[in-house]
Every structure is written in C-alpha cells, then in structure tokens.
Amino acid sequence: MKAHSGGRLTVLILSGDMEKGMAACNLALSALAGGRQATLFFSFWGLSFLKHSGGHGRGTFLARAFSALNHDHAERQRLGRFNLGGAGRWAMSRLMWRRRIPSVLESLVQAHHMGAHIIACSNTLELMGLDRKDLIPEVDDIAGAMTFLDAASEGVVVTIS
C-alpha cells in the first residue's frame, strides 16, 4: 500500500440510491485505509445522503414539492433496483445488518473521522432550496463544480451516477 501513500481518490455521487452510496463509501474507506486522501462530492440526488431527516426545501412551491416527493435522507434511501415500495430497501438494510455491513450514514461518519473531505454541491442546494442547516454535521464544505475538478485533477476519479 505504501506505493500509493499520498495518492488520492475523488468520488462524484449523483445518485441517491442506497447501493450507489454504499459503493461510494466502500471505495472511500478502502482508499483511506490504504493511506490515500479521499474527497466525496455529492450533487443532485446524491445530496439525499447528506440531508438530515428534518431537512426540507424552501422557497418556491416547486422546490417544496420536490422536497416532499423525495423522502430520502441520510438515514434512509431507496434501492435503485427492487425497491418494491420500500420492501426491497427494508430487506437490503436487514441483510446488511445480518452481514454486519454498516449503513451509508455509518460509513460516511467513519470516513469523516478518517479524514475524508465531504462536499455538498452548492448549485444543487440552491436548486432544491436547501441550506447548511438541512445537512448532517459531517459535511465539510459547500462548493461548486470547480472545486470538484480541482480535487479530481490528480489521482483516481470515480463517478457514481
């Protein structure tokens, strides 16, 4: 692993599906364990992973409507496949618990403690009518695409969309 000390992983998360969040976190935790730096940039539906359960969109009717539609938050996300009205989500959560696989939120908190840089996309926050107080405390920064590109300009870049 020494060869990659000082290496870097940048993950762009555009999806709010549970399994996509798991994949992002697994990669980040592996990178951190191997001595790399990790940056996680959450944009669009990916912001669900950073919104605490009480967060909701403000402003126009439409921002509030989208916020009401999208029930997902840091502690609960749907599956991209076989969600089955929540039954699939429940089954997968339970299967993960049986296999002692941490949830996305638990993994995010762990990644944060291991030094990951967690960024929420400023454009998405504006579009959805959300602000800093709607997000979990583990979020380090609110920033735009330029910040992602700077982080991504060296090392491994993974897009989870």
> Quick one: 61 or 137, whose CB is closer to a copy of itself?
61
> Quick one: 76 or 137, whose CB is closer to a copy of itself?
76
Q: And the tokens for 71?
A: 């029930």
> Quick one: 91 or 138, whose CB is closer to a copy of itself?
91
Q: Least distance from C-beta 100 to a copy of itself, angstroms?
A: 10
> Quick one: 57 or 137, whose CB is closer to a copy of itself?
57
Rounded Cα–Cα distance for residues 139 and 42 (Å):
10
Q: And the tokens for 94?
A: 């339970």
Q: Least distance from C-beta 36 to a copy of itself, angstroms?
A: 7
> For residue 122, with 0-12 CB atoms within 10 Å meaning exposed, 13-18 middle and 19 or more buried, which class applies?
middle
Q: Least distance from C-beta 50 to a copy of itself, angstroms?
A: 16
Please report, as ranges, the residues that interact with a copy of itself according to CB under 8 A. 1, 4, 7, 9, 12, 14-16, 19-20, 22-23, 26-27, 29-31, 33-34, 36, 43-45, 60, 62-63, 65-66, 69-70, 80-82, 88, 91-92, 94-96, 98-99, 101, 123, 126-127, 144-146, 148-150, 152-153, 155-161
- 118 close to 21: Cβ distance less than 8 angstroms: no
- 118 close to 138: Cβ distance less than 8 angstroms: yes
The one-letter amino acid code at 142 reads I
Q: Least distance from C-beta 85 to a copy of itself, angstroms?
A: 13
First-last CA distance in the chain = 28
> Quick one: 45 or 49, whose CB is closer to a copy of itself?
45
Beta strands in 86-148 (DSSP E): 117-121, 141-143
Q: Least distance from C-beta 22 to a copy of itself, angstroms?
A: 8
Rounded Cα–Cα distance for residues 86 and 89 (Å):
5
